[in-house]
Chain A
Amino acid sequence: MGKRSLVVALVLMLTLSTAGTALANLQINGAGASFPFPIYSRWFDEYRQIDPAVQINYQSIGSGGGISQITARTVDFGATDGPMTDEALAELDRKLLHIPTVIGAVSVVYNIPGVDSGLKLTGDILADIYLGEITNWNDARIAEINSDIVLPHLSIAVARRSDGSGTTFTFSDYLSSVSETWKNRVGAGNALRWPVGLGAKGNEGVAGLVRQLPGAIGYVEQAYAEQNNLSQAALQNKAGNYIMPSLEGASLAAAGVDMPSDFRVSIVNAAGEQAYPIATFTWLLVYENAFDEAVGGKLAEFLLWAVTEGAPYAEELHYAPLPAEVAEMVKDTLKQLHFNGTPFLQ
Chain B
Amino acid sequence: MMQQLHKGHLGRDSSPGAQGEHKQDKRMLAATIQDRAFKHISLLAALAVLALVVVIVYQLTTNAWEAISRYRLGFVLSSVWDPVFHDYGALPFVFGTVVSSLLALLIAVPLSLGVAIFLSEIATAKLRRPIIFLVEVLASIPSVIYGLWGIFVLVPLVRQSQPFFQRWFGFLPIFQGPPFGYSLLAAAIILAIMIIPTITSLSRDALAAVPNHQREASYALGASHWETIKNVVLPYNKSGIIAAVMLGLGRALGETMAVTMVIGNMPQISASLFMPAQTMASLIANEFGEAVSPLHVSALMEIGLLLFLVTLLINVLAKFLTTRTKHKGVQK
Chains A and B in contact, CB within 8 Å: yes
Residues 146 to 193 of chain A near chain B (Cβ within 8 Å): 155-157, 162-164, 186-193
Find out whether the CB atom of A71 lies under 8 angstroms from the CB atom of B292.
yes
Question: Closest approach, in angstroms, between the C-beta of A135 and any C-beta of chain B?
Answer: 8
Whether the Cβ atoms of A164 and B287 lie closer than 8 Å is yes
Determine if A198 and B291 form an interchain contact, defined as CB atoms under 8 angstroms apart: no
In the complex, the answer to whether A191 meets B178 with C-beta atoms within 8 Å is no
Question: Looking across the interface, which residue of chain B has its beta carbon closest to that of A189?
Answer: B84
Q: Contacts A198-B266, A198-B276: A162 and B178 contacting too (C-beta < 8 A)?
A: no
Task: Provide the residues of chain A in CB contact with B83, threshold 8 Å.
Answer: 164, 189-193
A-contacting 9-mer, from B33-41, B48-56, B179-187, B324-332: B179-187
A212/B84 contact (C-beta < 8 A), A162-B286, A200-B265 known: no
Q: A64-B290, A69-B289 are in contact. Are A192 and B84 (CB under 8 A)?
A: yes
Residue of B151, B155, B178 touching A215 (CB-CB under 8 A): B178
Number of residues on chain A facing chain B (CB within 8 A) = 37
Identify the closest chain A residue to B84 (Cβ).
Answer: A189
B16 at the interface (CB under 8 A from A): no
Alpha-carbon separation in the docked complex, A219 to B178 (Å): 20
**Closest residue on chain A to residue B179 by CB atoms:** A155
Given A199-B266, A199-B276, does the pair A193, B82 have CB atoms closer than 8 Å? yes
Is B264 an interface position by the 8 A CB rule?
Answer: yes
Tell me, in angstroms, the Cα distance from A186 to B82 when the chains sit together.
9
Decide if B85 is an interface residue (CB 8 Å cutoff): yes
Q: Which of B254-275 contact A (CB under 8 A)?
A: 264-266
Residue of A65, A164, A198, A213 touching B265 (CB-CB under 8 A): A198
Residues of A within 8 A of B298 (CB): none
A88 touches B292 (CB 8 A): yes
| Contact A201 B286, beta carbon cutoff 8 Å | yes
Q: A69-B289, A190-B292, A198-B276 are in contact. Are A157 and B178 (CB under 8 A)?
A: yes
Q: How far is the CB of A56 from chain B (nearest CB, A)?
A: 19
Decide: A194 near B181, CB < 8 A? Known: A61-B290, A67-B290.
no
A156 to B179, CA, bound (A): 9
Query: Considering residues A65, A193, A197, A199, which has the most beta carbons from chain B within 10 angstroms of its beta carbon?
Result: A199
In the complex, chain A residues whose CB is within 8 Å of the CB of B291: 64, 68, 164
**Contacts of A190 on B, CB cut-off 8 Å?**
83, 290, 292
Bound CA–CA A71/B179 (angstroms): 40
Q: Which of B152-203 contact A (CB under 8 A)?
A: 155-156, 159, 178-182
Q: Does B278 contact A (CB under 8 A)?
A: yes
| Contacts of B106-123 to chain A: CB distance below 8 A | none
Please tell me if the beta carbons of A163 and B266 are within 8 angstroms of each other in the complex: no
The reply on A62 being an interface residue by CB < 8 A is yes
Give the residue of B180, B265, B289, B297 whose beta carbon is less than 8 angstroms from that of A157.
B180
CB 8 Å contact bits of A264-297 with B (1 = contact, 0 = none): 0000000000000000000000000000000000
Report how far A192 CA is from B289 CA in the complex, Å.
Answer: 16
Q: Are A199 and B84 in contact (CB under 8 A)?
A: no
* B264→A199 contact, CB < 8 A: yes
CB distance from B49 to the nearest CB of A (A): 22
How distant is the Cα of A19 from the Cα of B73 in the complex, in angstroms?
51
Complex CA–CA separation, A213 to B178 (angstroms) = 11
- Name which residue of chain B comes closest to A196, CB basis: B266
Q: Which A56-86 residues have C-beta < 8 A from chain B? A: 61-69, 71
Give the residues in chain A near B276, CB-CB below 8 Å: 198-199
Inter-subunit contact B292/A68 (CB<8 Å)? yes
Residues of chain B contacted by A191 (CB below 8 angstroms)? 83-84, 287, 290
CA distance A166 to B292 in the complex (A): 13
Which listed residue (B81, B156, B292) contacts A164, Cβ 8 A? B292
> Across the two chains, which residue of chain B brings its CB closest to A157?
B180
- In the bound complex, how far is the Cα of B155 from the Cα of A192, in angstroms? 25
**Given contacts A157-B178, A191-B83, A193-B80, is CB(A163)–CB(B290) below 8 Å?**
yes
Convert B67-96 into 0s and 1s, putting 1 for each residue whose CB lies closer than 8 angstroms to a CB of A: 000000000000011111100000000000
Interface residues as binary, A43-63 with B (CB distance below 8 Å gives 1, 0 otherwise): 000000000000000000111
Pick the contact of A186: B84, B178, B180, B297 (CB < 8 A): B84
Q: How far is the CA of A197 from the CA of B286 in the complex (A)?
A: 15
Which residues does chain B contribute within 8 Å of A63, judged by CB atoms? 290
By beta carbon, the residue of chain A nearest B292 is: A68
**The one of A61, A193, A199, A209 that contacts B278, using a Cβ cutoff of 8 Å:** A199
Residue of A nearest to B177 (CB): A155
Report yes or no: B290 in contact with A198, Cβ–Cβ below 8 A: no
CB contacts (< 8 Å) of B289 on chain A: these are 61-62, 65, 68-69, 163
List CB contacts (< 8 Å) of A181-233 with chain B: 186-194, 196-201, 209, 212-213, 215
Whether the Cβ atoms of B85 and A187 lie closer than 8 Å is yes
- CB of B79, distance to nearest CB on chain A (Å): 10
Look across to chain B and name the residue whose beta carbon is closest to the beta carbon of A85.
B292
Residues of A within 8 A of B84 (CB): 186-189, 191-193
Taken together as a complex, chains A and B put the C-alpha atoms of A201 and B276 apart, in Å, by 14
Contacts of B156 in A (CB 8 A): 212
CB neighbours of B266 from chain A (8 A): 194, 196-199
Q: Which residues of A contact B178 (CB under 8 A)?
A: 135, 155-157, 215
Which 10 interchain pairs have the tightest Cβ spacing? A199-B265, A155-B178, A64-B290, A65-B290, A193-B82, A189-B84, A191-B83, A162-B265, A164-B290, A198-B264
Beyond A68-B290, A163-B290, A193-B80, 18 additional contacts (C-beta under 8 Å) are: A63-B290, A64-B291, A65-B289, A67-B290, A68-B292, A88-B292, A164-B83, A187-B85, A188-B84, A189-B83, A191-B83, A194-B266, A197-B266, A198-B266, A199-B278, A201-B265, A213-B159, A215-B179
A-B contact pairs, 29 of them (CB 8 A): A61-B289, A62-B289, A68-B290, A68-B291, A68-B297, A69-B290, A156-B178, A157-B180, A162-B287, A163-B287, A163-B290, A164-B291, A187-B84, A187-B85, A190-B83, A191-B83, A193-B83, A193-B84, A193-B85, A194-B266, A196-B266, A198-B264, A198-B266, A199-B266, A199-B278, A201-B286, A212-B155, A213-B181, A215-B178
